Chains A and B, each alone.
Chain A
Amino acid sequence: MLDIFKDLVNWVSGPTVLFTVTTVGLLLAFRFTAVWSRTSAKVFFVVLAVFYVASMWDPNFFLIVAKPDNIPITGVIFLVFFFTWYAMHQGIENDRRREAGEAPHEKKEGYKVWVWPDLVYTEMLAMVLLSIVLLVWSILLAAPLEQPANPADSPNPSKAPWYFLGLQEMLVYFDPWLAGVVFPTLIIVGLMAIPYIDTNPKGNGYFTFRERKVEIVIFLYGFLILWSLLVISGTFLRGPNWNFFGPYEYWDVHRVEPLLNVNVSDFFWVKLLSQPLPSGGFFAALLREWLGLILVGAYVFVLPVVMSWPREKLPKGFRWLSLRKYYEKMGPARYYIGISLFLMMMSLPIKMYLRWAFNLKYIVAFPEIFFNI
């Protein structure tokens, strides 16, 4: 019985299932907003806590979770869960008020109060509490110190600090120039661009969900799935050789996972035309990669244009792609910058699913000049 449960959890924690389940779960939660109630938060919290505590009896689970530097990640799980719930909960409460013709809660408390004592005391209390938490944490748990540095002996797995594990996970799907340089830059630029792209004047200064649905769905998808989830799974579920291990699995250094990944060029030339890849020189390389180049070019340059067209201009079956409404609301500059950043963000899950479904390695591959996508 217990073994079946453990096998099930291990299976659910696999990258494919976990990513899909959490994404679908999040989208359902946005659709059926009743789940952000107090009761379901309590139930979820208790289930998570029970799962966590009970799992401590499993030696493999304990080994990973109790590592001193992994303790903060347990904090991340519970804190991110709690605060996402808290923000959404208040937002939905405010939406309900709005529906009943009332103002948001924040408006009711719009009157001014003296900062001394109202705010200063709260700050004081926060400082005292936080100091206690930090002191207790520091007394109970020694900071980790491993063997002295030895450049000749690389541990397996070698992991970046936890907050960069999302980037390290991206390395599975993208080459370092994208995962380590281009995407981080785009994340920073994209975050800074948010206030200039988002022209929706509503929801400024109070929690709401209904009035800012699109913004919130996109942001939380990035925050919860593409950042938090990848950090958590990178810490707890990625073992030696960056292989995936379920929470109850032993981190076997010798487990070998076959790498059978193929490029788009292989699909086209070898599988479809049963020919060897064109080789010899610059133009042969271009010919070899023509399909991938067109696919990437279409995604990056053509798709944004096509999506700005009115629905009727798009062929049947593709009309849902039309973002005409936003194009008109935002104007061309905001629209193109916004949609490009959005497509860049979505390229990660897209590449993930391509890998899982077709073992796809590179869409475009010029290993000669380290230019692989």
Chain B
Amino acid sequence: MLNRITGPLKAAWKEATDSQVWSSVFRHGKPVGDRNRALVMMSNVFLHLHPIKSRKAGIKLRYTWCMGGITFFLFLVLTFTGLLLMFYYRPTVEYAYADIVDLQEHVPLGIMRELHRWGAHAMVITVWLHMLRVFMTGSYKPPREFNWGIGVVLLVLTLLLSFTGYLLPWDQLAIWAITVGSNMARATPLLGTEGPLSASLTLGDINLINAGNDARFALLGAQSVGGSTLLRFYVLHCVGLPLIAAFLMAVHFWRVRKDGGISGPM
């Protein structure tokens, strides 16, 4: 298409691509021809996650559905929109709800919250569909067993990211969903006050496990969902979990390549 442009535009384009600035950024010519197509993949830190060549079947939409890629893209969208939300949002019982209202009503381009929420829903769905695809093509079989395991952890992290984020708007939906979800921790065997065998953890006649120190308390930072829960979930949601997820995604992508690229028949 670019070839069809003529006149001053073409001249400007040529000027730009011949400049010292351009050639300092892109260290090779246009990605046509074998040599440059290899160079473009190798010299760009983002593209080099890919191999230089790949089997046709493995990169077809009908095979991967691009689901892993879509999941990753959604993660990037969520990171970006989440960062913008952090400019406005304060994780305290006093401000959280009001900040969310402001975000939707007073902030210019106020759809960041929508993008973030719908993107999060979408990511949970796509990560499940990605797992379905990987299973149905038998791609967890040797040599990719380990990467399947990394994937399962990524699935759990995705759910936890979504779960911790659910609390942050601090509305009725949020606190009660988290209350229902975290009530179960009370029943952790040994470590929850209402869990099997926890009453047997005693020191003399003192119960070691009580509502003030059990698994649920550790999760909420209190005996019920409150200010300390909000802070805890905020920190996990914005810092802890995304860092771990990003780290594991790097491992995941690295292993896709090291395990021989996208799977295919022998």
Q: Which residues of A contact B (CB under 8 A)?
A: 69, 72, 75-76, 79-80, 83-84, 86-88, 90-91, 103-120, 122-123, 126-127, 130-131, 134-135, 137-139, 141-151, 153-155, 158-161, 163-164, 167-168, 171, 175-177, 179-182, 188, 191-192, 194-196, 198, 200-208, 212, 216, 219, 223, 227, 366, 369-371
Contacts and interface: CB of A to CB of B under 8 A. Distances in A.
B152 A191 contact: yes
Interface in B122-149: 122, 124-125, 128-129, 132-133, 135-142, 144-145, 148-149
B263 A177 contact: no
A207 B206 CA distance: 59
A180 B61 contact: no
B265 A177 contact: no
A158 B138 contact: no
A83 B199 CA distance: 47
B224 interface: yes
A138 B118 contact: yes
Contact of A148 (B119, B142, B155, B172): B172
B180 interface: yes
Nearest to B77: A134
A141 B121 CA distance: 13
Interface in B105-120: 111, 113-115, 117-119
The 5 closest A-B pairs by CB, nearest first: A180-B184, A138-B114, A195-B145, A176-B187, A109-B57
A104 B136 CA distance: 14
Interface of B: 31, 34, 37, 40-41, 47, 50-63, 65-66, 69-70, 73-74, 77, 93, 97, 100-101, 104, 111, 113-115, 117-119, 121-122, 124-125, 128-129, 132-133, 135-142, 144-145, 148-149, 152, 155-156, 159, 162-163, 166, 169-177, 179-181, 183-189, 192, 194-200, 224-226, 263-266
Nearest to B129: A83
B31 A116 contact: yes
Q: Is chain B's interface secondary structure helix, strand, loop, or mixed overall?
A: helix
Given A134-B115, A179-B184, A194-B148, A122 B197 contact: no
B172 A119 contact: no
B66 A113 contact: no
A123 B69 contact: yes
A226 to B, nearest CB: 13
Contacts of B141: 195, 198, 200-201, 203-205
A246 to B, nearest CB: 23
Contact of A370 (B132, B195, B264): B195
Nearest to B60: A109
B185 A115 contact: no
Nearest to B172: A146
A91 B136 contact: yes
B263 to A, nearest CB: 4
Given A105-B57, A122-B61, A150-B172, A127 B265 contact: no
A5 B189 CA distance: 47
A158 B118 contact: no
Given A112-B54, A371-B196, A195 B140 contact: yes
Contacts of B63: 106
Contacts of B59: 113, 115, 118-119, 122
Contact of A110 (B57, B125, B140, B156): B57
A206 B192 CA distance: 45
A370 B170 contact: no
Nearest to B264: A205
Contacts of B52: 114-115
Given A143-B118, A155-B176, A116 B47 contact: yes
Given A161-B162, A180-B184, A181-B184, A145 B179 contact: no
Contact of A119 (B50, B145, B169, B264): B50
7 contacts: A69-B121, A103-B265, A134-B77, A137-B118, A145-B100, A148-B172, A208-B138
Contacts of B176: 154-155, 158-159
Contacts of A104: 265
B258 to A, nearest CB: 16
Contacts of A205: 137-139, 141, 263-266
Given A151-B224, A370-B196, 10 more contacts: A72-B121, A109-B56, A109-B57, A115-B37, A145-B100, A163-B159, A164-B181, A195-B140, A204-B265, A206-B57
Interface centre among A141, A171, A179, A180 (most CB of B within 10 A): A180
B173 A144 contact: yes
Given A123-B66, A138-B118, A371-B196, A164 B138 contact: no
A182 B192 CA distance: 13
A75 B73 CA distance: 19
Contacts of A200: 141
